[in-house]
Structure 1
């Protein structure tokens, strides 16, 4: 009898508004150190904890396709954007568990302060391993997490800083012109 186990995956969700070289670094390192068959980059339609957006969901999805194209084991999925509304992380994990075994959820350490407020946090905590990406100024506090791994990334920028300061140094050339145009159009 052949074992028909599902491929094991990590999900890296977020606004990606805009996606930047730090996101690429996270994805590349996660693929190297996590025992997974695939890493799913999952742009959010709307982050329930944010109310300001630089780019519309379709533009952010396009940027993600361009930015992560060619990285082995990495796929960008439009599941949350296709829902045309904010999607809870637990819903996405359950959706992908139909096809895969979702083993890891990659989050920035800046999310730890609100993590217990996430819908079905307890269910998530029971079913996945948190992969916590280090972020300057956001300590890694793992109290209450059942299973976690630390992904050390030393990257000096965030999407918020890029939006606020219009600093495109950390935007990959594949999408830089489009991000610059979106920022310019947003000002007008």
Structure 2
């Protein structure tokens, strides 16, 4: 059974995240997808509590297993789970462009295959520049997704202003965000769902 891993802060998970996961399953034949919600992402500051982001991810990915990843780095997560046999780690093209800055990128590539979601218009030379520096470029594959112009950062700002973001969020995520007043201090947001 092919295992896919899709990690992130998911603050909040949006339609772009869901589309990437759906397309990866279809294109790569992933039979089991684990959604790894980063409890404390090492690369960025996240104010929304991990438990809240976990609930949002469960709402966004109801057909997949969603777990809280307590490790700050991908390589730590992969080392902690030797039972994951040759998983496929899903990332976007922007993240792959920065792959060489990750902690132990060659070890990450030894422990998992990487599937990079590309979109029309993304500069292929940025991806090729990374591939050229890898010892095992054959462990990287690409699949194309339709661009969905949405950003979690922008969605948080719009939610804080009380904007309707239901077109950008899966319905269950939108319902949770609105009912809990997520990202909107004037609604008494406490960080818990």
Question: What TM-score do you get using the length of structure 2 for normalisation?
Answer: 0.78
With over 3 angstroms needed to count, the CA separation of the structure-2 counterparts of 1:173 and 1:116, relative to structure 1, is same
- Alpha-carbon deviations, 1:148-186, whole Å to 9, x = none? 222322211121221233351311221213223112137
Match of 1:4 in 2: none
Please say if 1:162 is aligned against 2:155.
yes
Contact 2:97 2:130 in 1 (8 A): no
Aligned length: 172
Contact 2:92 2:116 in 1 (8 A): yes
Aligned-residue RMSD, C-alpha: 2.3
> 1:30-179 maps to which residues of 2 (within 5 A)?
30-53=24-47, 55-69=48-62, 71=63, 74-78=64-68, 80=69, 83=70, 86-96=71-81, 98-134=82-118, 139-140=123-124, 141-145=127-131, 146=137, 147-153=139-145, 154-166=147-159, 168=165, 169-179=167-177
User: For residues 129 and 169 of structure 2, what CA distance do their matches in structure 1 show?
Assistant: 34
Query: Please, which moves more after superposition, 160-169 or 148-157?
Result: 160-169
With over 3 angstroms needed to count, the CA separation of the structure-2 counterparts of 1:128 and 1:159, relative to structure 1, is same
Q: 5+ unaligned residues in a row in structure 2: which ranges? A: 132-136, 189-193
User: For residues 4 and 128 of structure 2, what CA distance do their matches in structure 1 show?
Assistant: 19
User: For residues 184 and 49 of structure 2, what CA distance do their matches in structure 1 show?
Assistant: 14
User: For residues 118 and 186 of structure 2, what CA distance do their matches in structure 1 show?
Assistant: 30
Question: What TM-score do you get using the length of structure 1 for normalisation?
Answer: 0.80
- Secondary structure in structure 1 of the residue aligned to 2:86: strand
